[in-house]
Amino acid sequence: MSLLEKTISQIDAANVEDPNMVKDENGKEWPKELLYSVRMTDMLDRYRPDADDVAKISMRGQHIQRWTSDRKTFPMNRQGYLQWRTQLYKFHANTTATIMQQVGYDEESIERVKKSVGKRGIKVNPDTQLLEDVTDLVFLEHYMLAFAERHPEYDEDKWLDIIRKTWQKMSSAGQQFALEGNIKFPEFIPQNLFVIVFFNDVPPCSENSSTPIFLI
């Protein structure tokens, strides 16, 4: 096995232990974070088929063993959320780096993965930006609908803010990839309306509009 194959195998072995089971679009059950990592790899292959080992490992390891860090152990407010998220970035980066060290990767590659998975240098570090692009593409294709269903209390302005912030984190290449029809948008967000949102800064629908808030 190559170093890459050994690393991916160990990341998968860690994520297969996730006790949280979810179903994919075909109804197959998966450990939650294993499915997420596979979707990240799939999206990377579609978006950047010539990606190097660092990118492939970063995608696969971004959520490694995420279930071991309970959100409820941090204050249930925005500050607590940010503390939890920062701790997760460090945990995922260090855990993935440890696996790379064990299989024999060079220090330069390991450090690049730590910066990428640790979310250091978005918009500046190409490795981190690539991870962010793929993360956002995967969210739009696979997780946005479920996120919406978990937050029925969010109003129109809140959803506009979430969608625009997601878009703004992406590079122009990532945005273009999405708009060229390379990902499957949730059914409640037709692609042409996505274009309107991000290129014309459309104001919220009126109270009398029958258009769902997610279509803005």
Architecture of the domain defined by 3-215? Orthogonal Bundle (1.10)
| Domain regions of the chain by residue span | 3-215
pTM beyond 0.95: the answer is: no
> What is the Cα–Cα distance from 196 to 192, expressed in whole angstroms?
7
Which structure tokens are listed for 94? 């260090």
Using CB atoms within 10 A of its CB, is residue 59 exposed (0-12), middle (13-18) or buried (19+)? buried
Q: State pLDDT tens for residues 77-127.
A: 999 999 999 999 999 999 999 999 999 999 999 999 999 999 999 889 999
Residues contacting residue 15 through CB under 8 Å, at least 6 positions apart? 31, 33, 34, 37, 63, 64, 65
> What is the Cα–Cα distance from 57 to 147, expressed in whole angstroms?
26
